[in-house]
Amino acid sequence: MKYSESAEFNERIWKTIAEIPYGRVMSYGKVAQAAGFPGLARRVGQAMHRAPESLGLPWHRVINSSGKIAFAIGSDQYNLQRAKLESEGIEFNKECIDMQQFMYQPSLDEILWKP
């Protein structure tokens, strides 16, 4: 199947994000990989931006691979995301999150769940 079906893509990305447990974070690349679309990190950002509010996705648990928030430091969105993460017990070292400690690594079964 060609993953140009954006409806399918979005659905799986949203589902994957929804699976991130409380107090953990995941990078864009990891989300894409876990959803079965390795290499499509950029699409993840687009999918999230287009996700309806009604889904109540924990979008704040998605950060970039360097352990930082993707938004510009000091922006409203940055402050909001950071506040949400800190309220879940995630600690910041300057602007960075300790990946070793807070990165959520889905089970291999789920990674291999792709067809």
Partner DNA sequence: GGGCTGACCTACT
Partner DNA sequence: CAGTAGGCCAGCC
Q: Map the footprint of DNA across residues 6-65, applying CB under 7 A.
A: 6, 9, 27-29, 39-46, 48-49, 59-60, 62, 64-65
Q: Does 66 bind DNA (CB under 7 A)?
A: yes
By CB under 7 A, name the one of 81, 90, 102, 106 that touches DNA: 81
Give the span between the Cα atoms of 105 and 94, in whole angstroms.
23
**Alpha carbon 84 to chain centroid distance?**
14
Nearest approach in angstroms of CB 109 to DNA is 20
Residue 105 touches DNA, criterion: CB under 7 A:
no
Which of 66, 72, 76, 71 shows the shortest CA–CA distance to 25? Answer: 66
Q: Within a 10 A sphere around the Cβ of 6, how many other Cβ atoms?
A: 13
C-alpha distances in angstroms, 76 versus 24, 50, 79, 109, 110? 22, 19, 5, 37, 34
Q: Tell me the closest approach of the beta carbon of residue 91 to DNA, in angstroms.
A: 18
The contact set with DNA (CB under 7 A) reads 3-4, 6, 9, 27-29, 39-46, 48-49, 59-60, 62, 64-66, 70-71, 81
